[in-house]
A and B are shown apart, each in its own frame.
Chain A
Amino acid sequence: MIPSLLLHILLLLLMPPLLLGVINKTKAAFAGRYGAPFLQPYYDLAKLFRKGSVFSTTTTWIFRAGPVVTLSATLVAALLVPLGNHPAIISFNGDMILFAYLFGLARFFTTSAALDTGSPFEGMGAAREVTFACLVEPTLFFILITLARMSKSLSLTPMLTYPSPTVWIGAGATMLLLVGALFITLLAENCRIPFDDPNTHLELTMIHEVMVLDHSGPAFGLILYGAALKLFVLGAVFVNLAFPFKTGNLLLDWGIFVAAMLVLAVLIGVVESVMARLRLVRIPQLLVAATILSAFAMLLIVR
């Protein structure tokens, strides 16, 4: 039990940046490049933590609190999610509501920190972030209700460990809709293509990257790490639904989970390689479509 818990915590803390490495490697492979090494995100973080910081003269303590609060809220949310067949570190009735609201708290501080700089670009990014997030939240709750009804439970661990190949055979349509809606949510919440391009440095096309333009040094490192952790957490939710294979063997289950997460990273890399970023006016349409998909899933399970 204890070694498994230790492994759980280590994986939670150490694996997130690897996902970014895998995504970038996939994109490089599609572009015919050799690409940066898998561990590049770790090197980047190590470099940032040793770098100096520049603080804008317009900023206040909110700007400094932004990365701290965001990372802390994401860490607490990460404790609530089961990894594969392994239950979450903390699990209680209704933890999924706290899970959703912790991301709200993180968003409040990320966007406030962006507005604190007084930069029009960052204001623009913050406005997009809160607006798109507001469209994503109903989707998340439709997914949660559907899962709650299927698993007869109000806690993330039983809800997310409930899907299994049998469930997929029995309620395939619902699961497919849920996975579709969740994948769109995952991409939107983590600001990946087609919603946002994490690579561009043309500020006007961006959402997340533009909000953190003024952060530097260790603070920027915290932000990058927090973003990777968020991808990991929502990815774990997705993997539990989409790859619900369980063996009952402790080590084998860990292996399946890690492999599934890496497959997800490759999948995101493929999406980013074959798609272009959507025009800004199209983004709300896709998000509303995801909401309708998830509502559809709920209708199918209610009948």
Chain B
Amino acid sequence: MVFVAHIFGDPVGSLLWAIVLLGLSGLPGLLLKRPGPGQLLSVVITLSAAVWGMAGALRILGGAPATHYLLDWQLPFGPCELAVDPLSALFLIPLLLAAACCSLYGAAYLPAAAQPVVEKKVTLFSGLLLASMASVLVARNGVMLLMAWELMALSSWLLLLTYQQDAQVERAGMVYLLATHTGTMALFVLFSLLRGQTGSFVFPAAHSLTLVGPLAVVVLLAALIGFGAKAGIMPLHIWLPGAHANAPSHVSALMSGIMLKVGLYGILRTVSFFHELPVWFGWLVLLLGGVSAVTGIALASYQRDLKRLLACSSIENIGIICIGLGMALVGMQSGNQTLLVFGLVGAFMHILNHALFKPLLFLGSGVIIHASGTRQIDRMGGLSRILPRTAPLFLVGSLAICGLPPLNGFVGELFLYFGAFSDGLSAPLPLIAFIAPVLALVGGLAVITFVKLYGAVFLGSARDSAARQGHEAPFAMVAPMALLAGLCLLAGVGAPLLLQLVEPVVIDYAAVSPALFTRLTGIVPLPQIALMNGLLLGLMLVVWLVWRLLVQQTPVTSADTWGCGYLAPTPRIQYTGSSFADLAAGLFAGLVGARTTLTGLSGHFPAASRLALDGTERILDRMIIPCLHGADWCLAWLRRMQSGHLHLYILYVFATLFALMVWSHL
């Protein structure tokens, strides 16, 4: 009884309970015959678990003592330790927020009454996915982490296959399964090597591992490949666009907003073991971050599929986070505290920010798809008329993801700029200063991408008759988006609050003194920025009032858009999203693999012709798939083992065990 009381009062205990609740949230629905109550129950469970866990996570960040829990399992992998430190708490907060938002949204997006079979599956696996992601964050034992990791991979794969009748979904699922297991393979290498060093699967204490030479290289590369594949760092991103595009929207929001970050958490956790990092690692992360950011957003700008575009922009955001992380690691290695603190604050803030605006955009994409019946941006248009509540919320998300003031995206990038500029001011060889122009280029491309997205989807007039008949989403779908958009605005205008959230994590993770942290972050003018944001909003109000006054005194008429003399305009002559992005795609042709096919236009009197613009997945289509075909051809003989008969598989297991037994007696 004392134990129960203890576990309820303890922040870590409440988080562990929240994880268990999340994992079980889909079960009642399976047992109940009638569709509906199960889903409702799962929403209630998820919401209460999120509130309960959030309180725990915030208390950990507030400095509550972090209790360690030992799970008494009868497995030969050492004690299974569970703990929550500020780093875990930083990732748990957006996870629980997204859990609450996506669960509520899902109840209206996939109502049990309409799709009883699909709903049960999605509710069950969403709960499992959330619980497994949270378990990865609290596990302090390599094997426990791998188990949670595998559960996370499989539950997200099963969620991705919700609409598996579609051939596209099946292909995306296959690529995802392959990619995630390749990553897991690297993690096996990582944790086996770590065990070889420490003698146990339990994580080594922070900054305790002294690895040198090739072993450090292998460990760090294994972590980068294993965790990086999940995070979607270029060139390990191949699974990401397909997987995020084909899952149900609220699942995409979880995958993009949270699951990618779990990969980054893995890298951060592995790095924290090291007493001293090799020099090259920070630079490698920095370089990969830069490449991911530029290539990701260049790819996104050319996408025609709404959700693929958002998925590619996730690669960009992961890239920005990796830039911050790389900056911090370079600073850590070279003893440059300024770079260390600015890099980490920038990366952590962007992790939180991306977990706000990306789920917002993905949830919005679900509403758009419901209303327009398609994912093709070029067939939408004018949706802000039928989605009057979703449109402004989506606009907030789009502005935030472009990093524009007064929203939250700007705050995180500000710290990265300060890191770059501080390097530019003082370093003898200011290589890191080059990040500033790269970030500016990424910002410019992001504006192209999201003006295209918002403009082609919400503005103008409907290009397709289907897009005129949609309807606004119900309250349960709009409310989570409104919450996320409100938090984007709050974190932007009240930027010092965001810094307070990140402060304990940086102090704990980087082992810098609070005084140094305050001194360094004091350089960044957050109060002034907040003031300027207020001034900007105030000025907007004043200019708007002046304009209203002027307009009220003059006649106002309504007419068709000026067609420059053309009198028979149709919605089809509007500039589409593809046309909008085409100019930029021409400049980045080498990156995005833009392909234009024009058929039927030849001779003096050409017949009806067809022009198609398309982007290719260069790395997947030109490199990975041919390699897989090669492997398929080489290993064809092995396939004979896979007969599909159960008794043969049991025989394999028996034969292996027998052989091992004989071997151990030799």
Instruction: Report the bound CA distance from A58 to B539 in whole Å.
Output: 27
B-contact 0/1 string along A221-256, CB 8 Å cutoff: 110000000000000000000000000000000000
Chain A residues near B381: list those with CB within 8 A.
118
A71, chain B: closest CB distance, angstroms: 5
Chain A residues near B440: list those with CB within 8 A.
100, 137-138, 140-141
Given contacts A76-B536, A90-B532, contact A135 B587 (CB under 8 A): yes
Whether, in the assembled complex, A81 has its beta carbon less than 8 Å from a beta carbon of chain B, the answer is: no
Given contacts A101-B404, A203-B564, contact A62 B459 (CB under 8 A): yes
**Closest chain A residue to B437, Cβ basis:** A138
- CB pair B582 A134 closer than 8 Å: no
A-contact 0/1 string along B377-404, CB 8 Å cutoff: 0000110110000010001000100111
**Contact residues of A between 192 and 240, Cβ < 8 Å to B:** 203, 213-214, 217-219, 221-222
**Closest chain A residue to B410, Cβ basis:** A101
Whether, in the assembled complex, A40 has its beta carbon less than 8 Å from a beta carbon of chain B, the answer is: no
- CB pair A57 B547 closer than 8 Å: no
- CB pair A116 B459 closer than 8 Å: yes
Contact with A115, one of B424, B459, B555, B584 (Cβ below 8 angstroms): B459
A158, chain B: closest CB distance, angstroms: 12
**Contact residues of B between 522 and 554, Cβ < 8 Å to A:** 523-525, 528-529, 532, 535-536, 539-540, 542-544, 547, 550-551, 554
The stretch from A23-31, A121-129, A259-267 touching chain B is A121-129
Chain A residues near B543: list those with CB within 8 A.
68, 71-72, 75, 222
- CB pair B447 A133 closer than 8 Å: yes
Instruction: Report the bound CA distance from A60 to B448 in whole Å.
Output: 20
**Contact residues of A between 43 and 81, Cβ < 8 Å to B:** 49-60, 62, 64-65, 67-69, 71-73, 75-76, 79
Interface centre among B418, B535, B536 (most CB of A within 10 A): B536
Instruction: Report the bound CA distance from A152 to B579 in whole Å.
Output: 44
Chain A residues near B579: list those with CB within 8 A.
123-124, 127
Given contacts A94-B417, A149-B425, contact A52 B555 (CB under 8 A): yes
Instruction: Report the bound CA distance from A56 to B539 in whole Å.
Output: 26
Instruction: Report the bound CA distance from A115 to B575 in whole Å.
Output: 8
A202, chain B: closest CB distance, angstroms: 9
B-contact 0/1 string along A91-110, CB 8 Å cutoff: 01111011011101101100
B413, chain A: closest CB distance, angstroms: 8
B406, chain A: closest CB distance, angstroms: 8
Whether, in the assembled complex, A4 has its beta carbon less than 8 Å from a beta carbon of chain B, the answer is: no
Chain A residues near B445: list those with CB within 8 A.
134
Instruction: Report the bound CA distance from A139 to B430 in whole Å.
Output: 17
Contact with A72, one of B402, B443, B539, B581 (Cβ below 8 angstroms): B539
Whether, in the assembled complex, B116 has its beta carbon less than 8 Å from a beta carbon of chain A, the answer is: no
- CB pair B384 A62 closer than 8 Å: yes
Instruction: Report the bound CA distance from A219 to B430 in whole Å.
Output: 45
A-contact 0/1 string along B416-446, CB 8 Å cutoff: 0110110011000110010011111101110
Given contacts A76-B532, A108-B451, A126-B451, contact A57 B560 (CB under 8 A): yes
Contact with A93, one of B444, B524, B547 (Cβ below 8 angstroms): B524
- CB pair B404 A131 closer than 8 Å: no
Instruction: Report the bound CA distance from A18 to B561 in whole Å.
Output: 32
Given contacts A76-B536, A120-B575, A213-B562, contact A131 B430 (CB under 8 A): no
Instruction: Report the bound CA distance from A55 to B554 in whole Å.
Output: 13
- CB pair A53 B580 closer than 8 Å: no
- CB pair B539 A76 closer than 8 Å: yes
Whether, in the assembled complex, B583 has its beta carbon less than 8 Å from a beta carbon of chain A, the answer is: yes
Given contacts A95-B525, A141-B437, A218-B551, contact A53 B574 (CB under 8 A): no
Whether, in the assembled complex, A148 has its beta carbon less than 8 Å from a beta carbon of chain B, the answer is: yes
Instruction: Report the bound CA distance from A131 to B418 in whole Å.
Output: 26
- CB pair A54 B535 closer than 8 Å: no
Interface centre among B395, B436, B456 (most CB of A within 10 A): B436
- CB pair A93 B525 closer than 8 Å: yes
Chain B residues near A92: list those with CB within 8 A.
525, 528
Instruction: Report the bound CA distance from A280 to B404 in whole Å.
Output: 28
Whether, in the assembled complex, B476 has its beta carbon less than 8 Å from a beta carbon of chain A, the answer is: no
Chain B residues near A56: list those with CB within 8 A.
558-562
- CB pair A104 B443 closer than 8 Å: yes
Chain A residues near B561: list those with CB within 8 A.
56-59, 117-119, 214
Whether, in the assembled complex, A180 has its beta carbon less than 8 Å from a beta carbon of chain B, the answer is: no
Whether, in the assembled complex, B460 has its beta carbon less than 8 Å from a beta carbon of chain A, the answer is: yes
Whether, in the assembled complex, A302 has its beta carbon less than 8 Å from a beta carbon of chain B, the answer is: yes
Instruction: Report the bound CA distance from A76 to B531 in whole Å.
Output: 11
Chain B residues near A187: list those with CB within 8 A.
none
Contact with B550, one of A115, A127, A218 (Cβ below 8 angstroms): A218
- CB pair A58 B557 closer than 8 Å: no
Whether, in the assembled complex, B486 has its beta carbon less than 8 Å from a beta carbon of chain A, the answer is: no
Chain A residues near B436: list those with CB within 8 A.
141, 144-145
- CB pair A97 B425 closer than 8 Å: no
Given contacts A57-B560, A104-B402, A115-B455, contact A131 B437 (CB under 8 A): no
Instruction: Report the bound CA distance from A69 to B439 in whole Å.
Output: 24
- CB pair A154 B421 closer than 8 Å: yes
Chain B residues near A69: list those with CB within 8 A.
540
**Closest chain B residue to A204, Cβ basis:** B564
Chain A residues near B448: list those with CB within 8 A.
130-131, 134
- CB pair B460 A124 closer than 8 Å: no
Whether, in the assembled complex, A112 has its beta carbon less than 8 Å from a beta carbon of chain B, the answer is: yes
- CB pair A130 B540 closer than 8 Å: no
Interface centre among B444, B454, B523, B524 (most CB of A within 10 A): B444
Instruction: Report the bound CA distance from A149 to B559 in whole Å.
Output: 54
- CB pair B421 A148 closer than 8 Å: yes
Whether, in the assembled complex, A257 has its beta carbon less than 8 Å from a beta carbon of chain B, the answer is: no
B581, chain A: closest CB distance, angstroms: 8
- CB pair A60 B405 closer than 8 Å: no
Instruction: Report the bound CA distance from A121 to B580 in whole Å.
Output: 11
Chain B residues near A131: list those with CB within 8 A.
448, 583-584, 587
Instruction: Report the bound CA distance from A117 to B562 in whole Å.
Output: 9
Given contacts A115-B575, A118-B571, contact A58 B554 (CB under 8 A): no
Given contacts A135-B587, A145-B433, contact A52 B455 (CB under 8 A): no
Chain A residues near B575: list those with CB within 8 A.
115, 120, 122-124, 126-127
Instruction: Report the bound CA distance from A123 to B448 in whole Å.
Output: 12
Chain B residues near A57: list those with CB within 8 A.
558-561
Whether, in the assembled complex, B461 has its beta carbon less than 8 Å from a beta carbon of chain A, the answer is: yes
Interface centre among A73, A119, A124 (most CB of B within 10 A): A119
A60-B385, A214-B561 known, 19 other contacts, Cβ within 8 Å: A54-B558, A55-B556, A56-B558, A56-B560, A56-B561, A57-B559, A60-B459, A101-B410, A102-B536, A118-B571, A130-B447, A130-B584, A133-B447, A145-B424, A148-B425, A149-B425, A149-B433, A218-B551, A302-B429
Q: Nearest 6 A-B pairs (CB), nearest first?
A: A123-B575, A134-B444, A115-B455, A118-B460, A218-B550, A52-B555
Some 6 contacts from A to B, beta carbons below 8 A apart, are: A101-B404, A118-B574, A130-B444, A136-B444, A140-B440, A149-B433
A residues at B contact (CB < 8 Å): 49-60, 62, 64-65, 67-69, 71-73, 75-76, 79, 90, 92-95, 97-98, 100-102, 104-105, 107-108, 111-112, 115-124, 126-128, 130-131, 133-142, 144-145, 148-149, 152, 154, 203, 213-214, 217-219, 221-222, 284, 291, 295, 298, 302
B residues at A contact (CB < 8 Å): 381-382, 384-385, 391, 395, 399, 402-405, 410, 414, 417-418, 420-421, 424-425, 429-430, 433, 436-441, 443-445, 447-448, 450-451, 454-456, 458-461, 523-525, 528-529, 532, 535-536, 539-540, 542-544, 547, 550-551, 554-564, 569, 571, 573-575, 579-584, 587
